Amino acid sequence: MIAQLKDLDQRVHDAAMSFPGVVVRIGYSIGHDWNGDPAIFFRVVLSDDASRPEVLADNTGRVGGKLFDDLRLDDSDYTPYFYFRSKSEQDQQKDPEWQSLTIS
Amino acid sequence: MAIADDLLTLASHLTTPAATDPEQAWFRRSISTAYYALFHLLVQEAAQRWNGSPTARLGLERTFKHDQMKEVSRAVSTGSWRGWSTPHLPVPYELRDVAKSFIGLQEARHQADYNNEKQWTQTEVAAKFSDARTAFQNWKRISGRPVADEYLLSLTIGKKRE
């Protein structure tokens, strides 16, 4: 996984581009989860339309599944975690962790 | 699975606080409740397969360890988990989804219960609830299959020794 970090930005970007009109931005950070295990945290900003209750579960499942498969997260020591917000929520919160691709 | 289903219903209710409700408190309890709904679903399913007395079954339910359940679920989600059958049983996508949801909900529950700096949004909370609901649906599709029983056994006693 560490060896793949150099192209992680590109892979995440490519995954985001696979969902036009659905994904606005995908950020991530690498650290440890609450149990102390290596983890990668994905923060996905969805369009407001894609965040509607009737389509949210389908969209989060597709985006999370794509990241899991394309980044070969099943073959990684890092446990992936996925969090989703709507664009209007992020515009209101202006949470810097959700603004861009980051490695911390 | 009355308590598990009831907890899932409560988690759904808590995703939509009224304007006068303390929003962050509701959101945090929704996430925590969604995790415990799935936790109790799996624990009760495992305990139901025990033929002992009701008292012994309650005792069994109290032995489940959250970190061990995460470790087993992580192995299932990555494809490294091995059950007890020879040859190994294939892991259906429904079981993999349950395992992934368990891991994600457990971490979110830790954040919701202990990280007071984090501000949750309605979409984040609704997404976590939908993960739990989908895990319930997927579990019902595979409950009773040998591979599901072996997963429950692993949750109970840990990963099989290689």
Does B162 reside within a domain?
no
Alpha carbon distance B30, B10 (integer Å) = 7
First-last CA distance in chain A: 15
- A87: CATH: 3.30.70.1350
| CA A98 distance to own-chain centroid | 10
Sheet holding A38-46, edge to edge: A23-32, A38-46, A79-86
The whole domain housing B48 covers 2-157
For the stretch A33-89, pLDDT in tens is 999 999 999 999 999 999 999 999 999 999 999 999 999 998 889 999 999 999 999
**Residues of chain B found within 8 Å of residue A27, distances taken between Cβ atoms:** none
What is the token pair recorded at A17?
A: 């581009």
For the stretch B40-54, pLDDT in tens is 999 999 998 888 888
**Residues of chain B found within 8 Å of residue A56, distances taken between Cβ atoms:** 123, 126-127, 130
Handedness of CA B11, B17, B21, B24 (dihedral sign): positive
Q: Give the total number of structural domains in chain A.
A: 1
Amino acid residing at B26: W
Q: Give the total number of structural domains in chain B.
A: 1
Q: What is the pLDDT of residue B95?
A: 98
Q: Is the peptide bond before B87 cis (omega within 30 degrees of 0)?
A: yes
Does B83 reside within a domain?
yes
Q: What ipTM does this complex have?
A: 0.91
> Which among B107, B114, B119 has CB closest to A81?
B107
HSE-up of residue B129 (Cα within 13 Å, Cβ side) = 26
Report CB contact under 8 Å: B104, A56. no
Amino acid residing at A36: G
Report CB contact under 8 Å: B103, A34. no
pTM for this entry = 0.93
Residue in A with minimal Cα distance to B68: A35
